[in-house]
């Protein structure tokens, strides 16, 4: 089972550690595409006025420190991805508190879809950066379009003949869309909050629920190989799940929560 996670906008910035080493990351086939994004992002933030770079990145004038951080990415300290990504999903997942067996499963099953690096394992060492899946960089173009040309083979290779559980947020869906022959092994997960008979997506709690769901999966240790079996497993773990046809032939699982 391969679980695709979104990155977090909030990141912990390591104070010490070796800088990013592209050659040491998982998925070595992505080395050149990673270098292209890194070069484009650093050049934008180093060579353009900070206010102009901030506008390209979609951040406000009070966040120029993030522009300066991006300018120094090549030499900035890096740390394990499961420490650097620190948003709501990762707080709820709380990998560091899991039993040893579950942490080993996390290292093999979890993959973060990153605007900067394409795909990273939780054990890969990455710096804190600011780059959204919706950004477009000078000399590179839309980040999502760049990665859509490079991620397919790496995702398929990592999944092998197993199930892909897709927990990505909408900004990262264009990075990889399964081909028809692989879509039957993909389960996309949406979290719905039900109150008074009405259902809605609440961003903060959507992320937190996905973190708790992944934590349950890693703790249980089962390895379902089809979307149907995956839905059964979630039900066995106490989640309320409804299955529908998803995009491109994938299966969509709606996880319905009534208490946040």
Handedness of CA 143, 172, 114, 74 (dihedral sign): positive
Classify each residue of 177-198 as buried b or exposed e, where b means 16 or more C-beta atoms within 10 Å of its C-beta.
ebeeebbebbbbbbbbbeeeee
Boundaries of every domain in the chain: 2-257
The full DSSP string for 47-68 is: HS-HHHHHHHHT--GGGHHHHH
Q: What is the pTM of this model?
A: 0.94
pLDDT one digit per residue (tens) for the chain, 260 residues: 999 999 998 899 999 999 999 999 999 999 999 999 999 999 999 999 999 999 999 999 999 999 999 999 999 999 999 999 999 999 999 999 999 999 999 999 999 999 999 999 999 999 999 999 999 999 899 999 999 999 999 999 999 999 999 999 999 999 999 998 899 999 999 998 877 777 777 667 889 999 999 999 999 999 999 999 999 999 999 999 999 887 778 999 999 988 66
Integer Cα distance of 92 and 108 in angstroms: 19
């Amino acid at each position: 089972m391969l679980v695709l996670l979104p990155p977090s906008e909030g990141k912990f910035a390591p104070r010490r550690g070796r800088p990013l080493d592209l050659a040491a990351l998982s998925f070595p086939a992505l080395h050149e595409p990673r270098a292209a994004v890194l070069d484009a992002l650093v050049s934008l933030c180093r060579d353009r006025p900070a206010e102009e770079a901030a506008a390209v990145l979609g951040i406000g004038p009070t966040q120029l420190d993030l522009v300066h951080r991006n300018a120094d990415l090549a030499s900035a300290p890096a740390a394990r991805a499961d420490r650097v990504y620190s948003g709501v999903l990762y707080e709820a997942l709380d990998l560091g508190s899991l039993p040893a067996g579950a942490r080993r499963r996390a290292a093999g099953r979890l993959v973060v879809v990153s605007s900067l690096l394409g795909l990273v394992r939780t054990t890969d060492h990455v710096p804190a950066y600011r780059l959204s899946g919706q950004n477009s960089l000078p000399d590179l173009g839309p980040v999502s379009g760049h990665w859509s040309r490079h991620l397919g083979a790496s995702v398929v290779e990592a999944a092998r003949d197993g199930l892909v559980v897709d927990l990505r947020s909408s900004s990262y869906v264009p990075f990889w869309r399964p081909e028809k022959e692989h879509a039957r092994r993909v389960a996309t997960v949406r979290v719905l909050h039900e109150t008074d008979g009405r259902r809605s997506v609440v961003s903060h709690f959507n992320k937190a629920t996905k973190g708790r769901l992944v934590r349950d999966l890693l703790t249980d240790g089962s390895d379902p190989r089809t979307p149907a079996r995956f839905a059964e497993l979630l039900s066995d773990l106490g989640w309320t799940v409804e299955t529908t046809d998803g995009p491109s032939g994938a299966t969509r699982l709606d996880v319905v929560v009534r208490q946040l």
